């Protein structure tokens, strides 16, 4: 299993979309400042996770969503995943 996850910082100003095989380990890395993109903006909490069969599939979806430069929201990402799944079998 692989996961796409959406995290939010404590004050709700920052969001980050990522992928991982174990999102709890990855959340810990975000909160310890391991990830440059989220460093000094935490603490972070997980808003939503989506489960997939492979990390390859998750990385493809993550890449496409991040390229869109659309505001990251749980609703938008869920919509994108539904559309992606319908069009990619």
pLDDT, one tens digit per residue, over 3-20 is 999 999 999 889 999 999
73/12: higher pLDDT? 12
Listing DSSP states for the chain in one string gives: -EEEEEEEETTS--EEEEEES-HHHHHHHHHTT-SGGGTTS--EEEEEEEEES-HHHHHHHHHHHHHTTPPP-HHHHHHHHHHHHHH--
Nearest one of 87, 23, 10, 15 to 50, comparing CA atoms = 23
Question: pTM for the full model?
Answer: 0.81
66/17: higher pLDDT? 17
* Overall number of domains in the chain: 1
Q: Report the CATH number that the domain containing residue 47 is assigned in CATH.
A: 3.40.1440
């Amino acid at each position: 299993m692989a996961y796409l996850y959406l995290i939010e910082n404590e004050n709700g100003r920052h969001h980050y979309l990522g992928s991982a095989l174990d999102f709890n380990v990855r959340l810990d890395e975000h909160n310890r400042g391991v990830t440059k993109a989220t460093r000094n903006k935490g603490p972070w909490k997980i808003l939503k996770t989506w489960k997939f069969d492979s990390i390859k599939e998750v990385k493809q979806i993550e890449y496409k969503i991040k390229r869109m430069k659309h505001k990251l929201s749980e609703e938008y990402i869920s919509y994108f995943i539904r559309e992606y799944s319908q069009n990619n079998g």
